[in-house]
């Protein structure tokens, strides 16, 4: 069963509906015990890093998420759910993340004619073949909404790059863990294909 973590921050229903469109059942859940039993886990998120990590702690969800990440079972992070996997975020201060993937979360630097947040469609350039991107052409477009991006410590964790004032990691992959800065549930055919691939893991 695909389980979507509900910690009060994220467009959970749109993620669930996107899985329904590709014929996969997904449940929204905030119960730590049930999340511990999930066969596949989705960590979505929209909003501020500080509020999100605090919500996960307040709802006793940190340990079940860490257990799942260590278990080898499929794990997908989306947008803020990607950023939470990292060691530290510098969004409006300095906040410790889940520490699953080494690295940090930083803000786009102000540049002339660069609008922040990065909002809208942009291309991804994969670093190597990965099952989550099977059947999706390289340089295909996905939908982004973010002012901060992840900077992995190890380039080997980067699954795809995107250019927006700089070259940033728009997707990471490590063992059973995959996460995207873009929103697959808002990315039409390419996003639905990605979610279908995840459902078939």
Catalytic residue numbers, as ranges: 79, 183, 185
Neighbouring-strand partners of residue 28: 4
Contact 52, 7 (CB under 8 A): yes
DSSP notation for 94-116: -EE---SEEEEEEEPPP-TT--S
Written as six digits, the tokens of 155 are 């380039």
| Cα of 173 vs its chain's centroid, Å | 10
Neighbouring-strand partners of residue 146: 118
């Amino acid at each position: 069963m695909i389980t979507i973590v509900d910690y009060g921050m994220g467009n959970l229903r749109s993620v669930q509906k996107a899985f329904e469109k590709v014929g996969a059942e997904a449940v929204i859940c905030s119960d730590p015990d049930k999340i511990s039993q999930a066969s596949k886990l989705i960590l979505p998120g929209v909003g501020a890093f500080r509020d999100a990590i605090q919500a996960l702690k307040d709802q006793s969800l940190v340990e079940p998420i860490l257990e799942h990440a260590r278990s080898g079972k499929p794990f997908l992070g989306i947008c803020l759910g990607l950023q939470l996997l990292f060691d530290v975020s510098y969004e409006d201060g300095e906040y410790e993340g889940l520490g699953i993937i080494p690295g940090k979360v930083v803000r786009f630097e102000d540049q002339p004619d660069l609008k922040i947040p990065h909002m809208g469609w942009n291309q991804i350039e994969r670093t190597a073949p990965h099952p989550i991107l099977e059947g999706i052409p390289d340089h295909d477009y996905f939908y982004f909404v973010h002012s901060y991006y992840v900077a992995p410590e190890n380039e080997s964790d980067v699954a795809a790059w995107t250019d927006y004032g700089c070259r940033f990691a728009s997707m990471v992959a490590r063992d059973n863990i995959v996460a995207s800065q873009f929103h697959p549930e808002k990315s039409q055919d390419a996003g639905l294909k990605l979610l279908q691939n995840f459902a078939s893991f």
